[in-house]
């Protein structure tokens, strides 16, 4: 794993040795720390041990959506709230064993399943931390995004395409639904946008995607 500091209080953890990018974000909040997505298993989340070794604050683990490459490390955080959209929990229950069988050759270390323990429908705010989770369907029906108000960093999950060449993501939702999500992103006037697979991008990424959407 490669680690990169972004903003004043986040670390981006990036997988190495895959043909595609895969990133987790760790936010050090005031009262809680937040891990956004858990990757491919123990190999994805092991670096957290070192990064959090002096931390007393609880770690809140967030799943941006139910896809396998974002959730296989969930079970390593027994003491954390696992947070997701309500639909994400349902879809995980329905699909996680099947998708594991299909993609287990890509796992990094042991995989431990766990379902989200705290779910929401529209938004969840951690006011003292300035961290806002909100529903943002598009790539999938259960997508949520995370906005760090202190640094102006948006984590859009897989709502940003995997590469600059394919900046429009796979969309399971109607284009209009995804367009509304892009408008919600635009309203945040974010400084930096991190995502599951692409490199960190600036605010211009919204316009780039909208051009492809037309
Ligand atoms: Zn996905």
**Domains present along the chain, CATH in parentheses:** 2-213 (3.60.15.10)
> Distance, CA 56 to ligand 1 centroid (Å)?
31
Mean confidence (pLDDT) of the chain:
97
pLDDT on residue 88: 98
Q: Cα 167 from chain centroid?
A: 17
> Six-digit token pair at 77?
């955080």
The average pLDDT across 191-199 equals: 98
> Distance, CA 158 to ligand 1 centroid (Å)?
5
> Six-digit token pair at 92?
């995980």
CA distances from 72 to 34, 39, 125 (A): 17, 6, 25
Looking up tokens 């760090």 gives: 148
How confident is the model over 84-131, as pLDDT tens digits? 999 999 999 999 999 999 999 999 999 999 999 999 999 999 999 999
> CA-based Rg of the chain, rounded to a whole angstrom?
16
pLDDT on residue 36: 98
* Claim: this prediction has a pTM higher than 0.95: yes
């Amino acid at each position: 794993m490669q680690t990169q500091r972004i903003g004043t209080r986040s670390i981006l953890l990036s997988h190495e040795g895959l043909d595609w990018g895969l990133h987790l974000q760790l936010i050090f909040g005031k009262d809680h720390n937040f891990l956004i997505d858990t990757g491919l298993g123990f190999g994805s989340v092991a670096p957290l041990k070192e990064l959090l070794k002096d931390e007393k604050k609880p770690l809140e683990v967030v799943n941006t959506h139910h896809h396998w490459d974002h959730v296989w490390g969930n079970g390593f955080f027994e003491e954390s709230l696992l947070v997701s959209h309500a639909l994400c929990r349902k879809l995980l229950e329905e699909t996680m064993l099947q998708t594991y069988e299909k993609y287990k050759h890509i796992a990094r270390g042991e995989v431990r399943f766990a379902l989200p323990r705290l779910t929401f429908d529209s938004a969840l705010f951690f006011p003292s931390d300035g961290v806002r989770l909100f529903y943002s369907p598009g790539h999938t029906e259960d997508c949520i995004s995370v906005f760090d108000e202190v640094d102006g960093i948006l984590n859009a999950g897989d709502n940003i395409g995997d590469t600059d060449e394919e900046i429009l993501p796979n969309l399971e939702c109607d284009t209009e639904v995804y367009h509304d999500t892009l408008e919600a992103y635009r309203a945040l006037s974010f400084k930096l946008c991190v995502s599951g697979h692409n490199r960190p991008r600036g605010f211009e990424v919204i316009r780039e995607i909208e051009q492809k959407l037309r």
